Amino acid sequence: MKDLLIVLSYDGAEKMVPTWAQEEESINFRREHERATRNTVSFAATELKEHLLQCLEGVNIQYGSKVDSARLCLELKVEDPASKAGEFSLEPIDQGLRIIGCGRAGLLYGVYEFLRMQGWRWYAPGKEGIIAPNISSELKFPEKKTHFTPSMPEGRGFDLQFLSKESAELWVWMARNRLNVGPYRPLTALLANKLGMTFKNGGHVFEKMLDPDRIMPSGKILWDEHRNWYGLPPDGIHSKELALKIQFCVSQDDLVDFLCEGLLGYLMGKWKTADRVDIWGFDTWGSTCGCEACRSIGNSTDQNLYFMSKLRSYLNEARREDRLDHDVQLIMCGYEGTCTIQGPEKPVPDNLIQAKDLMVYYPIRRCYAHDFSEKNCEINLFYHDALESWFNNQPTPPVIIGEYYNVSKFEDLPILFTERITQDIPHYHAMGVRGATYMHLPMVNWGMRTLTQLLYAQMLWDIETDVETFLEDYFENWYGPYASEMRRVYELAEQAWAYSADWRAWGPRSVLSQILDWDGQKPEEPLQLDNHFVNTDGAVENGRRAIVMMEQAMVVVNTVRLKNREEAARHKSLASDLTVNPVEVRALEKFDRYTKRIAEDRRSLIYGLDTMKVMTELTAYHEALRVRDVNETISTWEKIEELEDALDSYYVPIDYEYPTPGLESKDALTRTQTRDVIVRCRKYRQSQLT
């Protein structure tokens, strides 16, 4: 094949495609749909050309505005310039292939699907994460017209809590893997717009609006001026201490007006770029207003939906009056912290259905040792039944699942969810879920978690994915000759951290939560564990089993690392500036990348192993101190001090400041969150010696 024509239906495409592909800075993506489409289609064309030039031998690739019967053609078409739908078709034609996007994002996904057919893979952001196919003289085409539709059409993306989480390479990686929702980030927003992304913002917004010490125009604090706005406690007595620990009183019309006006100000101000806004109540893990008017509305979720309906009506009116200059979807949440985990008892207000506002369901303390559908797992059964209750009153808002694959208690640890993602996402879909997000995507040092990101993206796109083939493809491409050994490392790490929620989940009963609340002194009671750790001994036993598995994984990684060192050296030229043939260059590049990937996995395992050890020994020490087992207390404390020294000797590179932008680099001990409790334990031990 010598000549290939990429066809775009725009006059002047022969010369202007590279320019159109970079003109996002001058486009209003909310209003100029035709220009936005040309921008995205042109970018897709440049991506197509750049990738094909790297894998096709001796090809001449040009752009054109019409199909040429004398040349092989790849025609790019968009059906609806205003649509953000991700659907697309690949249609063989006499001259080559037509890629048809329902919207401009769909067209881009279609181009990447065609490149995926040629052997391209995008496993991680940046050049190091790209898998290029072998050079060929022919292209692979589908045998017949094929239509592609996402299994989760209501959005596939991430929650990124910290403002400094921003990356152009990440947005491109997301588009290449057909993810389409993320928070607005100012420095990369133009690129994200070009890629067809949907922006979201918001969250727990009312704590600031309803700060009881907020100074009002009258000069009074909010608490003194509007005490009745705050939720009524069970004892019927308002108290300032509980003001933000009980959901606010949604039956107060003047409060609703106050909040609606405040949210409108956000939508025209700091959230003006958002297509979707999370509107969540107080994150209190507390209770709901107990006044008679609120109780008459229904359960806690009914009360929340009542407020959301009022907000939707207010925004609709503001839109008609041009006080709001763009449409926005509201996202309510099903979540324990806001007392909305159970579905409503009454029908969902019709205006929320008509607006296609969304509900995101967050099973924050779910168990990862078992599938979400496992009926013998008490905690998953609770969440499963609660999610099911959202579908009992039809119609219902579109439901999105909010998972916790990198929640702050898990961050940087080699916790894998391959089995869970494989089983749970199809099950969520079968229940009626049509979108997904998760907290919080890591930005760097993915290591073995690369597979989590990839599998998550793939299953959201196609719940019928042949998972075994997908995994084989991943390990072969990512580790080459070490695929089988590294797959075993992943399996061991996943088994070791299967009970990650019991160890580190948010909520009062995880091991970490109770250890962090401990004053370091002799406890009167054992740790109050539930779920799968019946008692402290059960937790310690599980931790030590996990340590054995992590140590086995380390043995395999170290063996692979030595093999790779020898093999990489064999491909290295003795002279640093000596030109070698292209085959040798490609082989060297591959082994160099294997070296970096294996080393990153090893570093992650070291941190994971040390973290599991220190949590396990602190748990054992707590119990030994409680029962006055002197020998066990001494031996476990010695281990804790050794681990303290080890963890204090290296960094876990990136953490993020909050709520302002900024980066931190914490030592591993601090990152485990156990530094302070160890200091408290030492203080108590010193007091006993004196």
- pLDDT per residue over 112-122, tens digit each? 999 999 999 99
| Phi and psi at residue 439, to the nearest 5° | -105, 135
3-state secondary structure at position 638: helix
Residues 408 and 505 in one domain: no
Residue 489 pLDDT exceeds 90: yes
* pLDDT tens per residue across span 523-548: 999 999 877 898 899 999 999 999 99
Crossing angle (nearest 10°) for helices 630-647 and 582-626: 150
pLDDT at 577: 54
Question: 591 to each of 490, 570, 572, 577, 677, how far by Cα in Å?
Answer: 20, 10, 10, 19, 43
DSSP for 265-304? HHHTTTTTT-SEEEEE----S-B---SHHHHHH-SHHHHH
| Phi and psi at residue 282, to the nearest 5° | -60, 135
pLDDT at 574: 54
Number of structural domains, the chain?
Answer: 3
Residues 247 and 118 in one domain: no
Confirm whether 552 is domain-assigned: yes
Q: How far apart are CA 286 and CA 300, in angstroms?
A: 11
Q: Which residues contact 552 (CB under 8 A, 6 or more apart)?
A: 492
Residues 517 and 420 in one domain: no
Assigned token pair, 179: 């993810």
pLDDT band at 658 (very low <50, low <70, confident <90, very high): confident
Q: How far apart are CA 188 and CA 646, in angstroms?
A: 39
Residue 584 pLDDT exceeds 80: no
pLDDT at 587: 65
What is the chain's Cα-based Rg?
A: 28
Confirm whether 461 is domain-assigned: no
pTM of model > 0.85: yes
Q: Which amino acid is at 208?
A: K
Question: 103 to each of 7, 86, 226, 368, how far by Cα in Å?
Answer: 17, 7, 48, 37
Q: How far apart are CA 548 and CA 555, in angstroms?
A: 11
The domain boundary, picked from 429, 459, 483, lies at: 429
The conformation of residue 119, written as its DSSP 8-state character, comes to: T
Respond yes or no on whether the N-terminal peptide bond of residue 661 is cis (omega within 30° of 0).
no
Q: How far apart are CA 20 and CA 13, in angstroms?
A: 9
Q: How far apart are CA 193 and CA 213, in angstroms?
A: 39
Assigned token pair, 516: 């962090």
Assigned token pair, 687: 């007091």
Q: Are strands 663-667 and 651-656 parallel, antiparallel or unpaired?
A: antiparallel
Nearest to 463 by CA among 181, 155, 173, 152: 152
Residues 88 and 201 in one domain: no
* Mean local confidence (pLDDT), 219-243: 95
pLDDT band at 1 (very low <50, low <70, confident <90, very high): low
Confirm whether 32 is domain-assigned: yes
Confirm whether 158 is domain-assigned: no
* Mean local confidence (pLDDT), 177-188: 96
| 594-599 LR contacts (CB < 8 Å, sep 24+) | 594/479, 594/480, 594/482, 594/564, 594/568, 595/564, 595/565, 595/568, 596/128, 597/447, 597/478, 597/479, 598/479, 598/482, 598/486, 598/557, 598/560, 598/561, 598/564, 599/561
Residue 196 near residue 40 (C-beta atoms within 8 A)? yes
Task: Work out the burial of residue 618: count CB atoms within 10 Å of its CB; fewer than 13 is exposed, 13-18 middle, 19 or more buried.
Answer: buried
23 vs 665, higher pLDDT: 23
Nearest to 391 by CA among 347, 336, 435: 347
* pLDDT tens per residue across span 96-137: 999 999 999 999 999 999 999 999 999 999 999 999 999 999
664 vs 623, higher pLDDT: 623
Assigned token pair, 86: 């991700």
pLDDT band at 655 (very low <50, low <70, confident <90, very high): confident
Residues 9 and 136 in one domain: yes
Range of 50's domain? 3-148
Nearest to 587 by CA among 134, 122, 118, 55: 134
Residues 134 and 247 in one domain: no
Q: How far apart are CA 72 and CA 92, in angstroms?
A: 11
Assigned token pair, 591: 């082994």
Residues 595 and 665 in one domain: yes
Residues 215 and 317 in one domain: yes
Q: Which residues contact 614 (CB under 8 A, 6 or more apart)?
A: 640, 643, 644, 647, 672, 674
The domain boundary, picked from 148, 172, 187, lies at: 148
- Other CB atoms within a 10 A radius of the CB of residue 570 amount to 10
Cα 222 versus chain centre, distance: 36
Confirm whether 133 is domain-assigned: yes
Nearest to 415 by CA among 541, 604, 157: 604
Residues 595 and 676 in one domain: yes
* pLDDT tens per residue across span 274-323: 999 999 999 988 889 999 999 999 999 999 999 999 999 999 999 999 99
Average pLDDT, the chain: 95
Nearest to 645 by CA among 684, 601, 682, 619: 682
- Other CB atoms within a 10 A radius of the CB of residue 603 amount to 17
Q: How far apart are CA 103 and CA 110, in angstroms?
A: 11
The domain boundary, picked from 148, 168, 184, lies at: 148
Assigned token pair, 34: 């035709």
Q: How far apart are CA 687 and CA 85, in angstroms?
A: 65
Q: Give the end-to-end CA distance of the chain in Å, rounded to a whole number.
A: 85
**Biggest distance spanned by C-alpha atoms of the chain:** 93
Q: How far apart are CA 407 and CA 173, in angstroms?
A: 21
* Mean local confidence (pLDDT), 644-665: 90
Residues 122 and 239 in one domain: no
Confirm whether 177 is domain-assigned: no
3-state secondary structure at position 379: helix
Residues 347 and 273 in one domain: yes
Task: Work out the burial of residue 582: count CB atoms within 10 Å of its CB; fewer than 13 is exposed, 13-18 middle, 19 or more buried.
Answer: exposed
Residues 207 and 343 in one domain: yes
* Mean local confidence (pLDDT), 317-343: 96
DSSP for 338-377? GT--SPPSSPPPHHHHHTT-EEEEE-TT--SSS-TT-TTS
Confirm whether 233 is domain-assigned: yes
- Other CB atoms within a 10 A radius of the CB of residue 283 amount to 16
Q: What share of the chain is helix, strand, coil (3-state, %, to 5)?
A: 50, 15, 40
Confirm whether 472 is domain-assigned: no
